[in-house]
Amino acid sequence: MSEIKGASVVIVGGGVTGLSAGWWLAREGVDVLVLEKGLIGWEASGRNGGGCSHHHSPLFAEEQRLWPIMDELLGYPTEFRGERVRLASSEHQMALYGRALRNAARQGFESDVLDVKQAKEMVPLAGDTVVGGYHYKFGGHANPHRTLQGYAWAMQDHGGRILQHTTVTGFRTEGGRVVAVETDRGEIGCDTLVLAAGPQTGRLSAMLGQEVPVQSARCEMIVTEPLPLMPLGGVDGCGLYGRQTLRGNLAYGGGPHEWLAMAEEGTLPKPTTPLMLHMGKRLAELLPKAAHARIIRSWAGVIENTPDGRPVIDRLAAQANVVVATLSSVGFGLSPASGRAIRDLVVDGACGFADISSFSLARFAELEPNWRDLQGWQVTAATEAVAA
Amino acid sequence: MTVPASDPKSVTGKPLAIAESVDVLVIGAGPAGLEAAIGAAARGFGVLLVDENPVPFRTMGDDVPLHFGQGMAASARNRNAMMEAFVASEPRIAEAFEAGVDLRLGTACWGLYANGPALGWMPGLVAGLADEESSILVQVQHVILACGRRDMGLGFPGWEKPGVMGATAALNLATRYDAFGPRKVVILGSNTEALTTALALRDAGVTIAAIVEQAAEPIGDADLLASLSAGGIEILAGHVVREATGRDGVEAALVAKLDGEGRPIGDERTIACDGIVLAVGATPVIDLIDAAGCKVAFQAERGGYAPVLDASQRTSLANVYAVGDCAGIWADKTRDRAIAEAEAARAVAALGEESAETETVAPSAPGYDISAYRLAWVRASVIEARAEFHVCQCEEVTAREILEVRPPRYLDWQNERRNDRSLSALLGDGPPNPDQVKRLTRAGMGPCQGRRCREQVAALLALGAAQPLSAIPLAGYRAPVRPMALAMTVHVPEAPEQAEHWDTWFGMHAQWVPFWEVPARYTVATNDATGPVASE
């Protein structure tokens, strides 16, 4: 086995969070290496709705600043398009979705409230199911696959390295610091370690003496054949999230998830279920004039969540040179900003552009040990026996 | 101790609307499926046998489930006549009716679901069925898949023209429906599957203008070759089609000789024809098998990617069997339906029995290297093509765009600075993955669900990486394995307790609390999870 050259910063996890962090570091000349057990972006990073409008997050302002310039910064297309429309098919939904408008307004972003006529004008595929909606003059959507690859290629352009098909098996520590990552391809030295390993983050952090509490779940999406482009593709609502792609396909997800136990190593398969039918029915309600469009694929992703669903971007108390990051099931849209926050923690020791204290691990100091049971996050699939 | 309530937004405890339950579902009413259905009924099982044929004319026009290439005669529009012809063409269909099999023609199976390491929600084996009016879910004790074969696509300039079609589609139209459009065809390929196709088309009254083979010698069964030659059919070995010409459809095939390196040379010859039949690689239909999670592997002796089976035709999933062409295609099996029927009989005998865990007896290796053979076709026809054409017709992606991993044209993305992102830059240290290339180039992402291009894309990646076909992972299949209109989804109602929880992503209140209101500590006991909530 030939020796793999170490790096100043080794990032475990070639998802959108790890690759964005790698790109932010590499573009400043930091020697960075991303380790990925399979293919980059093969987990949740490549299987989401592509939304970029997270008004509840402390990273929101930076998310909004960065997306419109990401193509230019990366040098690769992300397919980002700005603004979104959220349609309601009941007064109940209309009231629920209003919170986005208030959250965004507080941070200086405008929205319009749409009546039925305006909503139908903005969304040609809408129909008589719509009772109103919101036009967010912020946010938007991008293509997860292309963005992911853009981060990877841009990072490589700046000298960063990626090792795919490389599984982390352990860590070597000296004096409260991780000095090397042990992999199935040998040991790789590092000055700083970033754990951004999605569902594996819990297991890997536990090996370092401070477990990031996460539980995995399977979620699903569907996509239709292409339809003529609507003037604004970022249309969702009716309980669904998603978008019309720039090619014209309707790509949407939503509905119930299934909690899963992670296998010790490797990845879980990602089967879809008949939930596809229920997503399809909702999509036909959201966009009745697309009811003839045919579903041509469905897919599933395995996503991790923390107990409160909020991200963790923090340093481990036990190991001074380790940064852990999970975006807790809402990571794609925030990735330009989350990568920068990780870069700040690695280089400067603290995030310089946003108050990310709500992402700290300390908030779980009093978390009940049986939090999974208490929250009803039960596993019924066959891997239960393998659960760590 | 009280057991806490399960997460209301999760699938736990949410019932699926199952319309029917049956002992044995058989998918596909060809020789193997009929034998399986009749045999299972004789053993006393309740049997539901579905076959999507005859598929509606419009569906054929979309090249679903086979590459029909608009080669349907006008008579294919008459659905009643197609149904009658389908039934009349296979005597055992009537026998199945008489045996008490619940036979539903024009009914496709679009999904098969089984619990596994990442799925515990299913009440058992669940299959999704659809006819032209509605879509339903059925729960089954056993499934016998007898889904048949399809044909590897092979592109050349003009291959999108009406009249270029797969051999299996041609055979079905000609021999089962008497609805084959072309009068005179050129056949590409000379393996036993190609030669039996040629004979059957000839017997159906179609003129075979020529059989074109890129290899230096024909590779199929010598007796079949002899009977074709004796009938005066020209066999052009060491040749390739350079272009299909014609205004509204194929009017001629331009063929050229290949040199020792597999490059076209010399003058082209024009062969008048109104059809070009692609018969270079018959492949098992494994879409349901793979989507359900059965183990599949590239098995040259079974015609490519095929399910891994035991001696009783069991797949790796409990109570799921594969028989007939979808379990593997080889020359003897193509010539003798008794082999497929014997597979079905073995599966029927194993229903409800404990697995003996005996390995299946592998068919004898084919007389030629199918990987090298298929790669040679793609090299000569696609890579050496004199003009660019769309390997993926749905998404209009060329071979060069696949090998250079170019963003799709709708992006109009020009960045000269970065034109070095070819397949080799993507590879890193693993084999090329067609799903990864699909995501970046869109090849295989269209409404035909990759039926026309997936084997070609795999071959291009193999050639690009100088690897055999077996090294290229299978591009994954997922439901619906037949395109399904959104409007067709309304027939499976959603449980009310599921329907009320869609408005938030994971149903977690704390996740959507704006950051300026987040408390310093999180515990389950202090978390306020009451009241409505919506995500972003």
pLDDT single digits (tens) A144-156: 999 999 999 999 9
Answer for the pair B368, B219: CB distance below 8 angstroms, yes or no: yes
pLDDT tens per residue, range B382-404 = 999 999 999 999 999 999 888 88
pLDDT at A385 over 60: no
Q: If pLDDT is split at 50, 70 and 90, which confidence band does B415 have? A: low
pLDDT tens per residue, range B64-95 = 999 999 999 999 999 999 999 999 999 999 99
Contacts of A276 in chain B (CB under 8 A): 111, 479-480, 489
Nearest CB to B137; choose among A51, A274, A298:
A274
Least confident of A25-29, B3-7, B490-494: B3-7
pLDDT tens per residue, range A51-98 = 999 999 999 999 999 999 999 999 999 999 999 999 999 999 999 999
> What's the token pair of residue B481?
């394995």
The ipTM of this complex is: 0.95
Q: A180-186 long-range contacts, Cβ below 8 Å, gap at least 24?
A: A180/A6, A181/A10, A181/A12, A181/A35, A183/A4, A183/A35, A185/A1, A185/A4, A186/A1, A186/A2, A186/A3, A186/A4
| Among B144, B57, B119, B472, residue whose Cα is nearest residue B304 | B472
Greatest mean pLDDT among A1-10, A47-56, A66-75, B356-365 lies in A66-75
The distance of Cα B496 from the centroid of its chain, to the nearest Å, equals: 35
Across B472-506, b (16+ Cβ under 10 Å) vs e yields bbbbbbbbbbbbbbbbbbbbbebeeebbebbbbbb
Least confident of B141-155, B246-260, B520-534: B520-534
What pLDDT does B428 receive? 62
pLDDT tens per residue, range B35-65 = 999 999 999 999 999 999 999 999 999 999 9
pLDDT tens per residue, range A191-231 = 999 999 999 999 999 999 999 999 999 999 999 999 999 99
Across A322-347, b (16+ Cβ under 10 Å) vs e yields bbbbbbbbbbbbbbbbbbbbbbbbbe
pLDDT at A1 over 60: no
Instruction: Decide if B486 and A259 are in contact by the 8 Å CB cutoff.
Output: no
Contacts of B532 in chain A (CB under 8 A): 92, 95-96
pLDDT at B301 over 50: yes
What pLDDT does B429 receive? 60
> What's the token pair of residue A85?
């429309």
Contacts of B421 in chain A (CB under 8 A): 153
What pLDDT does B405 receive? 80
Answer for the pair B370, B388: CB distance below 8 angstroms, yes or no: no
Contacts of B295 in chain A (CB under 8 A): none
The pairing of strands A215-224 and A250-253 is antiparallel
pLDDT tens per residue, range A323-365 = 999 999 999 999 999 999 999 999 999 999 999 999 999 999 9
Helix (H, G, I), strand (E, B) or coil at B307: strand
- In DSSP terms, A257 is beta-bridged to B10
What pLDDT does B423 receive? 62
pLDDT tens per residue, range A227-245 = 999 999 999 999 999 999 9
What pLDDT does B45 receive? 98
Is A1 touching B (CB cutoff 8 A)? no
Q: For B98, phi and psi rounded to 5 degrees?
A: -65, -30
Residue B447 identity: P
pLDDT at A387 over 50: no
Helix (H, G, I), strand (E, B) or coil at B25: strand
Q: Which of A33, A278, A286, A332 is the best residue to mutate to test the B interface, defined by the most B CB atoms within 10 Å of its own CB?
A: A278
Instruction: Decide if B113 and A273 are in contact by the 8 Å CB cutoff.
Output: yes
Answer for the pair A257, A217: CB distance below 8 angstroms, yes or no: yes
> What's the token pair of residue A284?
């036909």
Distance CA A282, CA B135 (A): 16
The distance of Cα A176 from the centroid of its chain, to the nearest Å, equals: 30
- Give the CA-trace dihedral at B56, B58, B64, B69, to 10 degrees: 120
Distance CA B445, CA A265 (A): 30
Q: If pLDDT is split at 50, 70 and 90, which confidence band does B1 have? A: very low
Q: Which of A155, A214, A308 is the best residue to mutate to test the B interface, defined by the most B CB atoms within 10 Å of its own CB?
A: A308
Distance CA B259, CA A240 (A): 57
Q: Between B79-88 and B91-98, two packed helices, what is the crossing angle to 10 degrees?
A: 80
Using CA coordinates, name the residue in chain B closest to A362.
Answer: B521
The pairing of strands B20-27 and B47-51 is parallel
Instruction: Decide if B511 and A308 are in contact by the 8 Å CB cutoff.
Output: yes
Distance CA B167, CA B170 (A): 5
What lies within 8 Å, CB to CB, of A373 at 6+ separation is B4
Residue B47 identity: V
Using CA coordinates, name the residue in chain A closest to B129.
Answer: A274
- In DSSP terms, B72 is beta-bridged to B180
Nearest CB to B485; choose among A269, A293, A307:
A293
For residue A225, what is the DSSP state?
Answer: P
Distance CA B151, CA B167 (A): 7
Mean pLDDT computed over A24-33: 98
Using CA coordinates, name the residue in chain A closest to B127.
Answer: A274
Is A377 touching B (CB cutoff 8 A)? yes
Nearest CB to B524; choose among A162, A330, A375:
A375
Residues 215-234 of A with CB under 8 A from B: 217-218, 224-225
For the beta sheet containing B275-278, the strands, ordered from the edge strand earlier in sequence to the opposite edge, are B164-166, B275-278, B184-188, B207-213, B235-237
pLDDT at B413 over 80: no
What pLDDT does B407 receive? 76
Is A72 touching B (CB cutoff 8 A)? no
Q: What number of other Cβ atoms are within 10 A of residue B468's Cβ?
A: 16
Nearest CB to A374; choose among B511, B512, B524:
B524
> What's the token pair of residue B172?
């079905």
Residue B222 identity: A
Residue B431, Cβ density class (10 Å: 0-12 exposed, 13-18 middle, ≥19 buried): middle
| Among B125, B116, B130, residue whose Cα is nearest residue B52 | B130
Helix (H, G, I), strand (E, B) or coil at A174: strand
Is A61 touching B (CB cutoff 8 A)? no
What pLDDT does B421 receive? 64
Q: If pLDDT is split at 50, 70 and 90, which confidence band does B424 have? A: low
Q: If pLDDT is split at 50, 70 and 90, which confidence band does B427 have? A: low
What pLDDT does A388 receive? 30
Using CA coordinates, name the residue in chain A closest to B482.
Answer: A296
Nearest CB to A305; choose among B395, B433, B506:
B506
Instruction: Decide if B527 and A355 are in contact by the 8 Å CB cutoff.
Output: no
Q: Which of B6, B58, B59, B119 is the best residue to mutate to test the A interface, defined by the most A CB atoms within 10 Å of its own CB?
A: B119
Mean pLDDT computed over B328-343: 96
Report whether the peptide linkage leading into residue B480 is cis, meaning its omega lies within 30 degrees of zero.
yes
Q: What number of other Cβ atoms are within 10 A of residue A14's Cβ?
A: 30
Which helix (H) or strand (E) segment holds residue A64: the answer is: helix A60-66
Residue A241 identity: Y
Answer for the pair A299, A135: CB distance below 8 angstroms, yes or no: no
| Among A360, A342, A368, A345, residue whose Cα is nearest residue A197 | A342
